[in-house]
Amino acid sequence: MRPAKFLALFLALLTAPLLAEGDFQPAVQPGGDIPQPSTPTASPSLSPVQRPTAAQLQFIRREAMIPMRDGAKLYTVLIVPKGAGRFPIMLDRTPYSADLATGEGRQGSLPENLLSPLNAELFRAGYILAIQDVRGKYKSEGEYVMNRPLRGRLNLTAVDHSTDAWDTIDWLVRNLPESNGRVGSFGTSYDGFTALMSLVNPHPALRASVPINPMVDVWKGDDWFHNGAFRQEMIGYVYGQTANRRSEAEWFKTSSDDYATFLRYGSAGAYGRAMGVDRLPFWRRLTQHPDYDEYWQDQAVDRILAARPLAVPTLIIGSQWDQEDIYGATALFGALKSSANAHFALGPWFHGQVNSTAVSLGPLFWGTDTARSFRQQVLIPFLNEHLKGGLPAGTPRVIAFEAGSNHWQRLDDWPLACARGCLVNLTPVFPAHKGRADFVRPEKLASDWYISDPARPVPYRKRPDLQPYGPNSSWPVWLVDDQRFAGSRPDVLSYSTTPLALPIHLAGTPLVHLVASTTGTDSDWVVKLIDVYPDNAGRRDLAGYELPIAMNVMRGRYRADAAHPTPLQPNAALTYEFALPQVDYVVQPGHRLMVQVQSSWFPLYDRNPQTFVPNIFFAKRSDYRSATQRVFTGPGGTWIGLPIVH
């Protein structure tokens, strides 16, 4: 960041008012989430214009400032097929720049040169693309609020993403002569969230929606928290999104290892203060709401959409190894599947990989481009049926990629196996004393222990830990990292079965039933389900590889009530039940199943001080204390419920 730009930003942050810790305020405040003064933006034309670029050999690019009901105008780029005809519109509302998404500044005469593979294929299939900057970002007017809540207690204004989507669709079908009058909403991650907002009060012209890896419940298991543990690696994202309108502010790159950097500053709140992030309104809201209170409950999109009939055919797309929003898609389908309009797809992808190329994921090779085949054979036929009035596409209720055997399955329901309400009950695997695991419960009660030291937390990946969006980062594939780096530590317990004689197909929701004690008054528990490759694996790089199937974290203070944390009773054997992310995976014969248990996952998640404090964001250095952790096995002890189907 240039010195002048940094100084202007720093002065803007210093002038922003602070709230007292614990104050509850609506999420939408005057000025929005971007401190003023913000980076000035050039005023685009208020009417659609055609640019004489080489890309016009293939399509017409127009820009429009679309008026909203409160008078704000939102910048929208339109990519329109050349030639006669009327086409449906695919609307993507984004905080990441409509210009960037439509290839502004890039060279080439083909859509494939300028657009993502998904967007290029939609254009080739005869769709108009409408990519819009959400209010307050880049060239759109108005105030930006991170995940702007719906109108109500948290948003006392007259506008939200639902009204903005309605007003945009209404303008498009009335003012775009090439439109056939039908619109689909789509987008990935935050854009998946805005696509879901279009379903709250859908415009009559909205006939289909494709939310991809959407942000749904950011406390339970998407961007900001997982079961109460704060994802502090997202601090850089918060800064980049809300420091200024154009997201031009660079994150602080003072270290090549986030592990060392975060450890140096202590708590996530202390780090935020040191870097000036505590001057950003959204960061203050995060730190004021560490619990699953009404603030987060009222914003959970699965709850919002389940409260009314789903009127629009919707294809929800999830990724089995989604490193950012692994919870949202599956939770959303679970909430909406009573509606015939809800469809679900689960692919073998990282976050957003369905938009591009997906022949492989880390060390895993699928044998074909699973993303392209899905787009061509499922996604576009689904849209054609609902937006072009084509023949029924036969879109399955559920389509899931069975990793391991590497093929797609068309299913009537999902998940196939889970703890309650599924076709198949869970099959328990039991950790046993001294590193063993078996499908038969041990006869004797036993326990294993380790010391969890906050001064030496377990890293979530092999160091150095590069910043998620920094140079040379492999952030998209960390969920398939070899876990041997963790298993070698004395503060990680590993339990593995003998080599399997037959394949095991896991299709659904693994459930952790952990019985454990701590000498502290608070604790985190991280549980991993791992496929251990044999030493004679066909590929040398996979010999002995410990591939994560599903992993998650539980913050102990929330074991009884997510909204009201309570201290843990020291040295008491307590039960913690929580779900691992949903999977569709085949463990092959000769492989072993492994369960790992640990009490930190750093710096992906902030450290638990292991001393109960009112708000971990503001824990003091003296609050961080070592604790002896004990995991109980045998009768009444720990087990992992596996979603095994035959």
Question: How confident is the model over 92-146, as pLDDT tens digits?
Answer: 999 999 999 999 878 777 888 899 999 999 999 999 999 999 999 999 999 999 9
Q: Please give the pLDDT value at position 523.
A: 98
Residue 404 pLDDT more than 60? yes
Tokens 């500053």 belong to 265
pTM exceeds 0.85 for this model: yes
Residue 43 pLDDT more than 50? no
DSSP state of 133: E
The one-letter code for the residue type at 493 is: L
pLDDT classification of 47: cutoffs 50, 70, 90: very low
Is 189 strand, coil or helix?
coil
Give the Cα separation of 326 and 604 in Å (integer).
Answer: 14
Q: Please give the pLDDT value at position 423.
A: 74
Give the Cα separation of 112 and 124 in Å (integer).
Answer: 10
Give the burial class of 444: count Cβ atoms within 10 A of its Cβ; 0-12 exposed, 13-18 middle, 19 or more buried. Answer: exposed
Give the Cα separation of 224 and 234 in Å (integer).
Answer: 7
Tokens 């009404």 belong to 294
Neighbouring residues of 242: CB distance < 8 A, sequence distance ≥ 6:
33, 34, 144, 146, 280, 281, 282, 283
Residues of the chain with pLDDT > 70: what percent?
Answer: 92
Element (H, E) at 328: helix 328-336
pLDDT classification of 254: cutoffs 50, 70, 90: low
Among 57-61, 222-226, 299-303, 413-417, the minimum mean pLDDT is found in 57-61
CB 204 within 8 A of CB 111: no
Give the Cα separation of 146 and 162 in Å (integer).
Answer: 14
- Secondary-structure breakdown of the chain: helix, strand, coil percentages, each rounded to the nearest 5: 25, 25, 50
**Antiparallel, parallel or unpaired: β 128-133 and 87-94:** parallel
Element (H, E) at 211: strand 206-212
pLDDT digits (tens, 9 = 90+) for 435-494: 999 999 999 999 999 999 999 999 999 999 998 988 889 999 999 999 999 999 999 999
Paired with 629 in beta bridges are: 450, 518
CB 282 within 8 A of CB 272: no
Q: Please give the pLDDT value at position 13.
A: 37
User: How distant, in Å, are the alpha carbons of 426, 579, 640 from that of 511?
Assistant: 8, 5, 6
Is 101 strand, coil or helix?
helix
Residue 55 pLDDT more than 50? no
User: How distant, in Å, are the alpha carbons of 164, 183, 279 from that of 202?
Assistant: 11, 11, 36
Neighbouring residues of 84: CB distance < 8 A, sequence distance ≥ 6:
none
Give the Cα separation of 408 and 346 in Å (integer).
Answer: 9
Q: Please give the pLDDT value at position 585.
A: 98
DSSP state of 602: B
CB 26 within 8 A of CB 160: no
pLDDT classification of 21: cutoffs 50, 70, 90: very low
Q: Please give the pLDDT value at position 9.
A: 38
Average pLDDT over residues 628-642: 97
Average pLDDT over residues 36-49: 45
Taking every pair of C-alpha atoms in the chain, what is the biggest distance, in angstroms?
Answer: 78
Average pLDDT, the chain: 92
